Amino acid sequence: MKPLIVICALIAQLLPGIVRGDTPYAVKVPATGEVVHCTAYPPQLAPGAKAGLVIHLYGHGGSNIVFNAGRPPFDVIRRRITERGYWLIVPDLGPRHWMSDDAVDRLDAVIKEWTQKEDIDPARVHLLGSSMGASSSLLYVMRRPGKIRSVAAIFPVTDQVRFFTDAPNYRESVGPAHHVTDANREAVLRAISPLYHAEAFQQTPVFLVHGAKDTVVNVAHSREFAAALQKQGSPVIYRESPEEGHHDEIVVSFQEEIADFLTKADANSGPARAGWSR
């Protein structure tokens, strides 16, 4: 299925929110009125059925035009999400946003508009993130408790204290996004690290995927976070590929499982099953 390119913008005061038809979709951030751009894959719905919502957050340097989930390794996931009655939305939150306060506001606006204008159940909103987008998905759960049904995170940064030291090339984006200074560095980085806030995920199932040969985000980020979630009894599935690094092809072997995790949890009465494999 070809995506609709959605321009999330305020196009006219008479047409606020999401606009159907030949007019581009439109959303504005209420607090600022700023423009956000998105790509949308519409769901295949039976008459009278209600849609769900999966939001994809891309990796560092991406956008709603260039994003991980648009590549062939995600073909099955995209197809399963839409054919099972879910919107797949890719909002442009910025190429180096790292779920900053502004990015949180943008994502709030996109979720609000889609759930209201498309009559989506707000309890059926899920996140699918890659790299920076995976880290940002987890951070959004921390910032908005109870808002997200589940998160699939592909090679996420879960310990920003460690990452700030291990990956100096990313300091120029993480630092400004969260106003990191020499004086507040430790406190701020811990505050945005899921590893130190595992309790925030007690009611939010998490699916983690990581490669043992990842040289960008060390596999310890997912191993330690999965262990922390498992220790407190939170619903977590962890899949580790021994020969994979930091690239999208890692998801190929897990596409069906990830799609099931995101789209079938709504039909289950209990949390996602625990799982762990390397």
Task: Identify the structural domains of the chain with CATH numbers, from first to last.
Answer: 38-277 (3.40.50.1820)
**In angstroms, rounded to a whole number, what is the distance separating the alpha carbons of residues 278 and 264?**
24
With a cut of 60, say whether residue 276 has pLDDT above it. Answer: no
Give mean pLDDT, residues 168-180: 96
pLDDT computed for residue 162 by the predictor: 97
pLDDT computed for residue 29 by the predictor: 86
pLDDT computed for residue 205 by the predictor: 97
Residue with tokens 């606020």, as numbered in its chain: 16
Query: Number of helices and strands (H, E) in the chain?
Result: 8, 9
With a cut of 60, say whether residue 128 has pLDDT above it. Answer: yes
Binned at pLDDT 50, 70 and 90, residue 119 comes out as confident
With a cut of 80, say whether residue 26 has pLDDT above it. Answer: no
Q: Pairing mode, if any, of strands 4-8 and 36-41? A: antiparallel
pTM of the model: 0.89
Per the structure block, which two tokens stand in for 270?
A: 């209990």
Of 235, 244, 239, the C-alpha closest to 149 is: 235
The percent of residues above 70 in pLDDT, for the chain, comes to 86
1-6 long-range Cβ contacts below 8 angstroms, 24+ apart: 1/41, 1/42, 1/78, 1/79, 1/82, 3/39, 3/40, 3/41, 3/70, 4/39, 4/40, 4/41, 4/42, 5/39, 5/64, 5/65, 6/37, 6/38, 6/39, 6/40, 6/64, 6/89
Distances (CA, A) of 44 to 26, 82, 111, 206: 21, 6, 19, 25
pLDDT digit string, tens, across residues 69-87: 999 999 999 999 999 999 9
